[in-house]
Amino acid sequence: MLVLSTPSAARAEQTATVSSEYQDRGSELLEILQGSEKEEGFFASSFIDAIPLTQFRALVAQLKARYGEAIDISRVIPANDQDGTVEIAYTNATLAMRMVLDSKAPYPVIGLQVTGANVTNDTLATIEREFTALPGIAGFEIAELGSDQTNVIASFNADKQFAIGSTFKLYVLAALSSEITNGGRNWNDVVPLYRKSLPSGILQNWPRNTPMTLQGLATLMISISDNSATDILMSELGSKAIDDIVYKSGHGMPDKILPMLNTVEFFDLKMPNNADVRELYVAASNNEQRNLLSRYSIGLSPESIEISNLANKPQHIDTIEWFATPSDITGLLKIIEEIEDPVVKNILKINPLIPPGDALRWSYIGGKGGSEPGVISFAFLTKSKSGKTYAFSGSWNNSEAPVDNDKLTLMMNRLLNLVAAR
């Protein structure tokens, strides 16, 4: 499969730790991107079964049409002998590609993802035009977070309420951190695994009542978007603590996101057999919505939820979701920054959503994203090497068709790169 990260534009010598097998495959990758058509000896059969050569070559042609000719390897960033990032210089950009080899000779490629593009002569105005052209509606905001004020650097549709998917979990993280900072809880507090949700995550498969620290739950909630961890933390905090963060962060339409659904309630309300309840819920006031969830036992039986109903096309993303504007997310990230909790900062940076080469542009970067069919959203908290703190947020919704997650990932990476270079 293929994904996106924003590579370093600077040409660098390949490190001495690149294995000879990885080095050879990197050279072959460049030749294939230049049109050698030698994929059959390059990819493992499992890769070709998943992505037929005709499809792969079409993707290569798309890269050429967008970025020009593949010219050279800029650098190789190894993670280990079989995994790493290969940066390819094209005429109009440098692309980062994560390449994974089989661990056994002859070491064919089992995974290939385009993880970013550092576009030559890229600008904020160019990216804004691309946001405008996306089907559905999209928006972003970049803001410098100062001690006294927030300075918006660039934005588009920043006051539009978007479905944000699992990015909402940042509200839960902020509420938890605030509770701990104020002395109400401790990161080392232990709670049992007493409720489960559906994937994403791993805890749904763990034994019930497994003891978990609050820090462990928060780490899973953010780093791998674990839904079971999220629902336990929401239960432990209670609705008031999370509501308070929504108001404190300056959310423009709190009634749009409150009551904040936990993940099982979210899934359950979207099920076809809950159409009547869903209609009542959408029309109800906030207090009535809370009562409806209780009255109809919404979210109490995750085993009855058929998640495949949500897998292929947008389902009720305009009504049953978590909503925020890019500006709302800026306000939330500002709260997280002001709490100055090192545990939170460490949790956020576990999965910064961009490749290692791009992360090195910043002295700190942490992130959270969320997606479902028709929805993708990102939030990043960064500190530049000059000491400035920035909030980035971006969302794209399309109620008619799934959105291209990789495309928005690339666009957000490009925004990050442009600001990091300031």
pLDDT tens-digit readout, 177-197: 999 999 999 999 999 999 999
Give 119's strand partners. 93
Query: Is the bond preceding residue 302 a cis peptide, omega within 30 degrees?
Result: no
Do 146 and 180 share a domain, yes or no? yes
Q: Which residues pair with 116 in a beta bridge?
A: 96
Residue tagged 């039986």 (tokens): 301
Are 95 and 158 found together in one domain?
Answer: no
Please say whether the beta carbons of 331 and 145 come within 8 A. Answer: no
For residue 34, give the CATH number of its domain. 3.10.450
Helix or strand (DSSP H, E) at 55: helix 53-67
| Total count of domains within the chain | 2
Q: Decide: 114 and 92 in contact? Cβ < 8 Å.
A: no
Q: Is residue 274 part of a domain?
A: no
* Rg of the chain (C-alpha set): 22
Q: Which of 165, 129, 118 is nearest to 360 (CA)?
A: 118
**Of all residues in the chain, what percent carry a pLDDT higher than 70?**
95
Rounded Cα–Cα distance for residues 89 and 94 (Å): 4
In a domain, 209, yes or no: yes
Give the DSSP letter string of 306-346.
Answer: -GGGGSSS--STTTSS-EE-HHHHHHHHHHHHHHT-HHHHH
Residue 10 placed within a domain: no
Residue 301 lies in a domain: no
Q: For 31-46, what is each residue's pLDDT tens digit?
A: 999 999 999 899 999 9
- pLDDT band for position 357 (cuts 50, 70, 90): low
Please check whether residue 5 lies inside any domain of the structure. Answer: no
Looking at 79, 95, 119, the residue that finishes a domain is 119
Domain check: are 134 and 71 in the same one? no
Residue 222 is encoded by which pair of tokens? 């953010």
Q: What residue spans of 224-360 are helical by DSSP H?
A: 227-237, 239-248, 254-257, 263-269, 275-283, 286-295, 326-339, 342-350, 356-359
Section 288-302 average pLDDT: 95
- Cβ of 54: how many Cβ atoms within 10 Å? 7
Find the CATH number of the domain harbouring 396: 3.40.710.10
Q: What pLDDT is attached to residue 11?
A: 32
309: in domain: no
pLDDT digits (tens, 9 = 90+) for 364-419: 999 999 999 999 999 999 999 999 999 999 999 999 999 999 899 989 999 999 99
Domain containing 185 equals 124-260+319-422
Same domain assignment for residues 104 and 148: no
d(CA 196, CA 210): 12
Residues 402 and 421 in one domain: yes
Q: Which amino acid is present at 281?
A: Y
Examine the domain organization and report whether 100 and 63 are in the same domain.
Answer: yes
Structure confidence at residue 406 (pLDDT): 86
Which of 209, 225, 247 is closest to 173 using CA atoms?
A: 225
User: Over the stretch 229-276, which tens digit does the pLDDT of each residue have?
Assistant: 999 999 999 999 999 999 999 999 999 999 999 999 999 999 999 999
If asked whether residues 188 and 226 sit together in one domain, one would say: yes
Examine the pLDDT at 62 and tell me if it is beyond 80.
Answer: yes
Is the pLDDT reported for residue 1 higher than 70? no
Instruction: Give yes or no: residues 350 and 381 share one domain.
Output: yes
Domain shared by 55 and 156, yes or no: no
Q: Looking at the structure, do residues 171 and 99 belong to the same domain, yes or no?
A: no
pTM: 0.83
**Domain C-terminal end among 92, 119, 146:** 119
In a domain, 278, yes or no: no
Residue that the structure tokens 């109009």 belong to: 92
- Regarding whether 66 and 191 lie in a shared domain, the answer is no
281 in a domain, yes or no? Answer: no
Clarify whether residues 88 and 132 are in a common domain: no
Q: What are phi and psi of 263, to 5 degrees?
A: -70, -35
- What distance in Å separates the CA atoms of residue 93 and residue 88, rounded to the nearest whole number? 9
Asked which of 75, 97, 119 is the last residue of a domain, the reply is: 119
DSSP 3-state of 134: coil
